[in-house]
Structure 1
Amino acid sequence: MKKALPIVFVIAALIVTAAIAIGIKNTKTVDWEESFNEKSNKPYGVSVFYKELSNLFKDQKIRTVYHQPASYLRANSEGGYGEHVAEGSFIIIGNSDYLTDESVDELLNFADNGNTVFISDYYFTQKIHDTLDVSVDYIENERDSISYLSLKHINIEAVKIDKNASDQYFSEYDSINHIVLGYSKIDYKHVNFIKVPFGKGSIYLHLEPKAFTNYNLLKEDRYKYVEGIISYLPENNIYFDSYTKIQTGYNGDVEKESNLSWFLEQLSFRWAWYTALIFGLLFMIFNAKRRQRIIKIIKPLQNTTIAFVKTISNLYFETQDHKNLIDKKITYFLEKIRSDFNIDTTILNDDFIQKLTSKTGKKKEDVKKLIDFINWLRTKNEFFEDNLIKLNRHIEAFYSK
């Protein structure tokens, strides 16, 4: 044991040094990726807004939804197998492109039953455009990347949004039935926030999700704009759509803060957990008294190909070499397309998308999102973890549907 102490101290010193070095390196790079992740403290995460929901909607239940609205809302409806009947406001900030047609139908049904749906994103799924009779266009910000946001019925000064390459706006909407609530302005005003009465409830569509991010909420008095937007929502329970999606079906209460907390609420699992901890502690106490070294069991050679691949991928991931991983995932995906469907992948244009759609039977808009994202990644020089996660999500969705 005494001989091992110097080695332990050396390893501990190396770990501390590595942690400090990694911390210093991480502070030098600011990740401006627009993740809209409610757990992210990065500039374009939404953790500040997420944490403030309980203050904005006092005495109301705030639930975080990690599943597709289709499975979650169907389960928590009249006659469903969920633990409650979902009533209130369903909020989606960014990343709404994951919504399936089935989920859109459930959200529309949710609003039709007297509830509220709020979506803030740069564009919406085609089914939302078609059902609500709206069209979205954009205008490039060629002068200073600054836009001004304002609300029609709330008396606040126009809020400035910087780092804004373009402004999305509603180029078409029902001016008789749809209610205009807000504008964006570069050279002149465009409608970017509307209320759509739907059945007994309402659907709010907003086109500037960056307003809800940490960077803008903590800068100057831009939070007043978000407060004004949220004031349109009724004082009711909130269902917040999480950045992290569980792609399997809904099978229980997914608003728990951790999986362990759910296990500890179950009597059998709780005692099993405590028993395992007690036996583990006793094992360490009695095993520490052993004087004879444990005889090492030499196992026969195994096929370590999969372990090798996992080790290499973990190495890239641990070293933050996201570019290498992204390049390899794209290369492997295109190689599989060539081998499975005999399609030339040299140029990923509209003709390629049409061929891939016809041979795979996938929806053209889903294939186009994946190929457009790959083309966009190829134009970037710097990559972040969120880029890799989103690419993996697109590819898995392509194979799962």
Structure 2
Amino acid sequence: MHRGWKIGFGIFILVILALTFLEANEPEPLNMTPSYSGKDKIPLGTYAFFESWKATREVEEISQPPFEFLAEEETPAGIYFFLNDYVVFDESELNKVLEWVSRGNTAFISAGYIGKNLLDTLNLEAHTDLRNTDFKSRPGLEIKNNRENFKLNFDIEALVFTETDSLEHEILGTAVFTDEASDEKPNFVKTGFGNGDIFLHSTPEAFSNYFLLRNGNHNYAETVLGYFNPEQNVYWDNYYKSGKSFYSSPLYYLLGNKQLKWAYYLVILASVLYIIFQGKRLQRPIPIVNALSNKTYEYAQTISHLYLEQNRYRELSIKKIELFLEYIRNQFRLPTGDLNNIEFQEKLASRSENSKAKTRKLFSKIEQLKVQEQISKEEFLELSRAITTFKDPKNGGTGNQ
């Protein structure tokens, strides 16, 4: 290598090492990714809330979907606690939750986005309200039984309930955007459903680590939990969580440590440089290996010729019929136990785009040949043409037989 190239390459390596050192020692940026997992200590995790609540009462974690949990034979009673940046049930799951609540249980849902089907069921409407002051959107939170104002210390898109009925909905808390009372918007409502209650709370950030661990904001969560019956069991939902509750990849542990992460990157860089400068000298020629050819068609052709030469048309016909029935089972998902069943023939005719008459005629021919002791060459060829035409009705059976 030319001396100038060596000097340039050395400078390049030094620059890479310097940048790696600076990056590795740079402070970690604040991770504001929504998680709401009880195991996450990031700002929008709920480790502080979850562990504090577990210290005062028993909380059971539920990692399966609500539909499966509530479908168990002995469905437990209590409080089902959903906390995430969004909670959207499909129709069948929502019906399960509502049926469970109507039996005298409680569902608490705190989410920045709540499924429209649930809101419609409870005759509620909601929309995102942004009240910017100095380019900030940080509403204060108030609870009906505690008029203290808990100020959010980071910007959010606040979801508030815009259509409430005093006969159906009890407003328990509000989001306050200014000092004027008219700017209070409901963000925490209670609705009776059957013999139970549904609590909807639209500011899940209020249960995050970043909010609760500042300025006595933990009182807000304590006040919210005060609305629950202390005798009821609590079921903490782990299914509707944006943060992963477990990590299966070994790289998660490797990249989770700053020193190990940059050591890993340096190993990759060194490997790439080694391949670039040493690969041409040490790489051996790669022999060409021809792919194995598919001889299935030739094999089938040979076997069929043996049958034809020995005039074993009955065996050929039976094989042809068996392959055709297997084709029906695989292609149209229909059982072939009873070929004379009218319902079977009508379904097959509809799915294969053949007429019912043509379908009945074909299976009548099949049943006839199956009981014959001798089958002629002409009968075998007629069966083959009929099956081929049935498989490809649009082209008149001109495809592969």
Question: When the two structures are superposed, what TM-score results if normalisation uses the length of structure 2?
Answer: 0.52
Distance apart, 1:311 and its partner CA: 12
Between the aligned partners of 2:70 and 2:23, the Cα distance in structure 1 is 41
CA contact (8 A) 2:83 2:240 kept: no
Q: Distance in 2 between matches of 1:26 and 1:174?
A: 53
Pairing 1:238–2:234 present: yes
Aligned to 1:110: 100
What is the root-mean-square deviation in Å for CA atoms of aligned residues?
Answer: 3.5
**Residues 1:201 and 2:196 are matched in the alignment:** yes
SS of the residue corresponding to residue 227 of structure 1 reads helix
The letter of the residue matching 1:42 is I
In structure 1, distance between residues paired with 2:173 and 2:192? 16
**1:94-141 deviations in whole A, cap 9, x for unaligned?**
144353222211111111010000000112112101111111012213
CA distance in 1, matches of 2:41, 2:214: 14
Structure 1 unaligned segments of length 5 or more: list them.
1-20, 246-256, 259-309, 322-401
2:140 matched to 1:148?
yes
| Superposition deviation, residue 314 in structure 1 | 12
TM-score normalised to the size of structure 1? 0.52
* Structure 2 counterpart of 1:55: 55
Q: 1:312 to 1:229 in 2, by over 3 A?
A: closer
2:155 and 2:208 map into 1 onto residues whose CA distance is 13
What aligned pairs does 1:337-356 form with structure 2 within 5 A after superposition? none
Q: What is the aligned counterpart of 2:67 among 67, 70, 81?
A: 70
Give the deviation of 1:53 after TM superposition.
Answer: 1.9
8 Å CA contact retained: 2:65, 2:239 = no
CA distance in 2, matches of 1:30, 1:207: 24
Residue in 1 aligned with 2:28?
28
Counterpart of 1:128, as a letter, is L
User: In structure 2, do the counterparts of structure 1 residues 202 and 244 end up closer, same or farther at CA, with 3 Å as the change threshold?
Assistant: closer
Distance 1:214 1:112 in 2: 33
The answer as to whether partners of 1:95 and 1:243 remain within 8 angstroms in 2 is no
Spell out the pairing of 1:293-308 with structure 2 (5 A cutoff).
none
Structure 1 position 128 matched with structure 2 position 118: yes
Amino acid at match of 1:157: E
1:66 is aligned with what amino acid? S
Identity of aligned residues (%): 25
Total equivalences in the alignment: 230
CA–CA separation in structure 1 for the residues paired with 2:82 and 2:228: 13
Q: Once the 2 structures are TM-superposed, how far is the Cα of residue 312 of structure 1 from its aligned partner?
A: 12
Structure 1 equivalent of residue 162 of structure 2: 171
Task: Check the 8 A contact 1:91/1:239 in 2, yes or no.
Answer: yes
Q: 2-side partners of 1:133 and 1:67: how far apart? A: 28
* 1:35-46 map, 5 Å: 35-46=35-46
What is the distance in 2 between the residues matched to 1:116 and 1:241? Answer: 13
Match of 2:148 in 1: 157
State the one-letter code of the partner of 2:195. Answer: K
Which has the larger Rg?
A: 2
Residue matched to 1:340? none
Runs of 5+ in structure 2 lacking a partner?
A: 1-20, 266-401
